[in-house]
Structures are given as structure tokens and as C-alpha cells.
């Protein structure tokens, strides 16, 4: 007969994919009951009733329990953590978290970072997002480079202000099939944004919390260069995010990129892989020029023990279309850089850990009350005003 202690030990292998810790360590196992004939009942406490990863717990708990000798059947029940338990959990995790439900409909978050500037993070973010969209995924891009935002230009978006929904959420602008949010939509063209510290933290929180991202398969976050405030804040707010590290091929760039990797490790963000950008330039006659050297991405990937997701060559059309506001992958899919990026997108899809759980549909009966009238435009302001967007 299996003991409760053995079952608890087995459940330590069930990881909450958002908090990235075991459900035992997180005190989420509410009860374990061993019944007749090896039937085991486990109740797991969730942080929110509509938790989209419920299905994950259902499967993982059942698998863990049924691996034990003597276990014949496992029933998994759910309840919700009390406010006091949630507060205790938050304290245990020691992090300022986003409110519940924020980004609950976003299956995968990928932060695109590098140790130094100008290696092509924004160009790759814009194109990778478009390539994922072309593969049939629902994709959003958050331009978290508040000081040097470039995503609006790369998507041909001016400084149009995004609309605000009746629920007072900011609606991302759509461009090339991708939902886009950037500080560039809220400030005068080329105006300097000088936020630091708490102000910056608040603005980034608002980008995640008060933007109606809706259901997304991927949210790509374009980070500013380096390992500074923005990256640390996002890492803290998004423990479930993964990191893509962009490097150029020369060994010195790779040393700098290693610092970004160290930062990701320090804040326990998983590194999904390395992308080597600005690899050899090939002339139409077939001559190759390794302008930035060769092999840096491969070496970094080996050192970090993560996959090298792709090597994107230097091509003129990639730069031209980025400047022209249209992703190369959609404009010239046969270009070698576009092909490399499409390949990376397929690699990213192949390793996606979390399919978005299907949320139950709410039936609206014919006699239901009509929806409340939308608020007047004056009322339609986003909640928690820290961005200059009113």
C-alpha cells in the first residue's frame, strides 16, 4: 500500500510551469487520500479558479501518482488558495508579481536579449514574430526598449495612439498580423524617455497588465541592450518567460552575450537558445565574406548547453525592409536571412512547452441581459495611469 508520504514525494516532481517550482514546495497540495484498491485522491490548490494550466496539473499529478507501486487510479480535484495562502506564497517567492489572470491567455513568452547593442535584436524580434504568424500562430510583440524603441518603425507604425477598450484596457495596434505595443505610440516622435527605477518598473508592469493582449501563442519581448533595469524587472515579473540570446559571430561579442546569459541565470530565467546574427554575407555571384567572423554563436550555445536556433546571414533586404517598415520574412521569403528566420520560428514552435489550455466557453442564453452600454470616451482611460497616454 502506498503511503501519503510516498505520494507527496512523487508529487514533488510536478512543477507549476508559471512559478517554475514544485507544487509540494509551493504548498499547493491541499490533501492526499489513499482509498481502497489503490485509488488515490489528490486535491491541488490553484492560485485562480480559471487557471489555464489546470489540464497540465491534472495530467502531471496523475502521471506522478500512477508511477507508484500499488496505485491503480488517481482522482485529481482542485480548489483555490485562500487570500492568506496566496499572500504566504507571494512572500515565499519573494517577488512583486503581476495581478492574477494577467497574461493568463498568453501561452509562451520569449524575451529577445543580448549583452550589447546593435546586434539585431529588434530586427529579429519583428521578423521572428511575423514568421511565427506566418506559421499560423497568434503573436504579440512588446517593445520593452523604452529608451531606444524601434519596433514601431520596423512595422511601419507611426505614433498612432492605441485605442482603449470599454474595460479600460489598452488595445495593441495590429501590423502584419501581429499585435504590437511600444512606448513609441505614446510619446512625441524621437522624444527621449528618461524613466529609471520605480517609474520604469511601473510602466513595464502596465504594459503587461493593462494591455489587452488576448489569446496569444507567443508574446515576444524586444529588450534593450545589456543586462540593466528593464531585463531585471521583466525577469522578476515574468518568471515563466524564456530568453533568446542574440549574438554576432565574433568571439568578443560572444563574451558580452555571455553576460546576458549570466543575468538570465541569476534571475532563474530559462535560456531557450542562441541566435547568431550578421553571419557571412554572400554576394549574388556566390562569394562569401565573414564580415563579423564565424563560430561565436555556436560556441556560446555549446557553453550554455542550449540549442543554436539559427544563423542569420547579413543581407541588404533585411536592413532595407526593416527601415521600410515591413518584415522581410513576409516581403521576400526566399531571401537567405528570411529563410534562416523562418527556420528559427519552426525551431521555436517545436520546443514550445505549453500549448494554451482551452478555456471553457460561457454560454449566453437568448434572454440574457444586453451588455452594459460602453462608457463615454472620457471614461475610457486605461487603468493605473503611469504611461503618458491619457
Ligand X SMILES: Nc1ncnc2c1ncn2[C@@H]1O[C@H](COP(=O)(O)OP(=O)(O)OP(=O)(O)O)[C@@H](O)[C@H]1O
The partner in contact with residue 16, picked from ligand X, Mg ion, none with C-beta cut-offs of 5 to 8 angstroms by kind, is: none
**Cα–chain-centroid distance for residue 159?**
25
Q: Check residue 182 for interaction with Mg ion (CB under 5 A).
A: no
CB nearer ligand X, residue 32 or residue 278: 278
Q: Which stretch binds Mg ion (CB under 5 A): 115-123, 156-164, 250-258, 290-298?
A: 115-123
Q: What is the largest CA-CA distance in the chain?
A: 76
CB nearer ligand X, residue 236 or residue 282: 282
Please give the C-alpha separations between residue 324 and each of 129, 148, 149, 157, 222, in angstroms, as whole numbers. 17, 18, 16, 10, 19
CB nearer Mg ion, residue 53 or residue 112: 112
Q: Which residue is nearest to Mg ion (CB)?
A: 122
Q: Which stretch binds Mg ion (CB under 5 A): 83-91, 114-122, 349-357, 376-384?
A: 114-122
Q: Check residue 122 for interaction with Mg ion (CB under 5 A).
A: yes
Q: Check residue 248 for interaction with Mg ion (CB under 5 A).
A: no
With 0-12 / 13-18 / 19 or more C-beta atoms within 10 angstroms meaning exposed / middle / buried, residue 6 is middle
Q: Check residue 123 for interaction with Mg ion (CB under 5 A).
A: no
**In the complex, what is the shortest distance from the CB of residue 248 to ligand X, in angstroms, rounded to a whole number?**
9
**In the complex, what is the shortest distance from the CB of residue 244 to Mg ion, in angstroms, rounded to a whole number?**
13
CB nearer Mg ion, residue 62 or residue 122: 122
**In the complex, what is the shortest distance from the CB of residue 44 to Mg ion, in angstroms, rounded to a whole number?**
41
CB nearer Mg ion, residue 47 or residue 122: 122
**In the complex, what is the shortest distance from the CB of residue 368 to Mg ion, in angstroms, rounded to a whole number?**
47
How far apart are the C-alpha atoms of 66 and 87, rounded to whole Å? 32
**In the complex, what is the shortest distance from the CB of residue 317 to ligand X, in angstroms, rounded to a whole number?**
8
Sites of contact with ligand X (CB under 6 A) = 114, 117-123, 145, 148, 150, 225, 277-278, 312, 314-315, 318-319, 322, 337
The partner in contact with residue 293, picked from ligand X, Mg ion, none with C-beta cut-offs of 5 to 8 angstroms by kind, is: none
Helix, strand, coil percentages (3-state) for the chain, rounded to 5, are 35, 20, 45
DSSP 271-302: EEEEEEEEE-EE-TTS-EE-TT-S-HHHHHHH
User: Could you report how far apart the first and last alpha carbons of the chain are, in Å?
Assistant: 63
**In the complex, what is the shortest distance from the CB of residue 226 to Mg ion, in angstroms, rounded to a whole number?**
11
The partner in contact with residue 312, picked from ligand X, Mg ion, none with C-beta cut-offs of 5 to 8 angstroms by kind, is: ligand X
Total interface residues for Mg ion by CB under 5 A: 2
* Strand pairing class (21-22; 15-16): antiparallel
CB nearer Mg ion, residue 114 or residue 206: 114
Q: Where are the beta strands (DSSP E) in the chain?
A: 15-16, 21-22, 29-34, 39-46, 73-80, 106-113, 139-143, 173-175, 178-182, 216-222, 242-247, 270-279, 281-282, 288-289, 308-313
How far apart are the C-alpha atoms of 163 and 143, rounded to whole Å? 17
CB nearer Mg ion, residue 182 or residue 209: 182
**In the complex, what is the shortest distance from the CB of residue 257 to ligand X, in angstroms, rounded to a whole number?**
11
CB nearer Mg ion, residue 121 or residue 326: 121
**In the complex, what is the shortest distance from the CB of residue 158 to ligand X, in angstroms, rounded to a whole number?**
18
CB nearer Mg ion, residue 125 or residue 240: 125
The partner in contact with residue 129, picked from ligand X, Mg ion, none with C-beta cut-offs of 5 to 8 angstroms by kind, is: none
Q: 181-212 burial by CB neighbour count: b if 16+ within 10 A, else e?
A: bbbbbbbeeeeebebeeeebbbbbbbbbbbbb
Q: Check residue 205 for interaction with Mg ion (CB under 5 A).
A: no
Please give the C-alpha separations between residue 310 and each of 17, 50, 269, in angstroms, as whole numbers. 26, 37, 21
C-alpha cell at 385: 495611469
**In the complex, what is the shortest distance from the CB of residue 192 to Mg ion, in angstroms, rounded to a whole number?**
16
Residues of this chain that interact with Mg ion (CB under 5 A) are: 121-122
Amino acid at each position: 500500500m502506498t503511503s501519503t508520504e510516498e505520494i507527496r514525494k512523487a508529487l514533488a516532481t510536478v512543477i507549476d510551469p508559471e512559478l517554475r517550482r514544485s507544487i509540494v514546495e509551493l504548498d499547493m497540495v491541499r490533501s492526499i487520500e489513499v482509498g481502497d484498491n489503490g485509488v488515490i485522491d489528490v486535491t491541488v490548490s490553484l492560485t485562480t479558479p480559471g487557471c489555464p494550466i489546470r489540464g497540465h496539473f491534472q495530467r502531471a499529478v496523475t502521471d506522478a501518482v500512477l508511477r507508484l507501486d500499488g496505485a491503480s487510479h488517481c482522482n485529481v480535484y482542485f480548489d483555490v488558495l485562500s487570500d492568506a495562502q496566496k499572500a504566504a506564497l507571494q512572500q515565499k517567492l519573494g517577488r512583486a508579481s503581476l495581478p492574477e489572470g494577467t497574461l493568463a491567455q498568453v501561452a509562451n513568452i520569449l524575451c529577445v536579449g543580448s549583452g550589447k547593442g546593435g546586434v539585431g535584436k529588434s530586427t529579429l524580434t519583428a521578423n521572428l514574430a511575423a514568421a511565427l504568424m506566418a506559421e499560423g500562430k497568434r503573436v504579440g510583440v512588446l517593445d520593452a526598449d523604452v529608451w531606444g524603441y524601434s519596433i514601431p518603425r520596423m512595422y511601419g507604425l507611426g505614433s498612432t495612439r492605441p485605442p482603449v477598450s470599454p474595460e479600460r484596457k489598452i488595445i495593441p495596434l495590429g501590423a502584419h498580423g501581429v499585435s504590437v505595443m511600444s512606448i513609441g505610440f505614446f510619446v512625441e516622435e524621437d522624444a527621449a524617455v528618461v524613466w529609471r527605477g520605480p517609474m520604469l518598473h511601473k510602466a513595464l508592469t502596465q504594459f503587461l497588465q493593462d494591455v489587452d493582449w488576448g489569446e496569444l501563442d507567443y508574446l515576444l519581448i524586444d529588450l534593450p541592450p545589456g543586462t540593466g533595469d528593464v531585463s531585471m524587472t521583466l525577469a522578476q515579473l515574468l518568471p515563466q518567460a524564456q530568453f533568446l540570446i542574440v549574438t554576432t559571430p565574433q568571439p568578443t561579442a560572444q563574451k558580452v552575450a555571455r553576460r546576458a546569459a549570466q543575468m538570465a541565470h541569476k534571475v532563474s530565467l530559462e535560456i531557450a537558445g542562441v541566435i547568431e546574427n550578421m553571419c557571412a554575407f554572400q554576394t549574388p555571384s556566390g562569394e562569401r565574406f565573414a564580415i563579423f567572423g564565424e563560430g561565436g554563436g555556436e560556441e556560446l550555445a555549446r557553453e550554455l548547453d542550449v540549442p543554436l536556433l539559427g544563423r542569420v546571414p547579413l543581407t541588404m533586404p533585411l536592413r532595407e525592409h526593416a527601415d521600410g517598415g515591413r518584415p522581410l520574412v513576409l516581403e521576400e521569403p526566399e531571401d537567405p536571412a528570411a529563410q534562416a528566420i523562418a527556420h528559427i520560428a519552426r525551431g521555436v514552435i517545436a520546443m514550445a512547452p505549453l500549448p494554451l489550455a482551452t478555456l471553457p466557453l460561457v454560454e449566453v442564453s437568448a434572454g440574457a441581459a444586453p451588455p452594459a452600454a460602453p462608457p463615454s470616451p472620457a471614461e475610457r482611460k486605461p487603468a493605473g495611469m503611469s504611461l503618458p497616454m491619457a
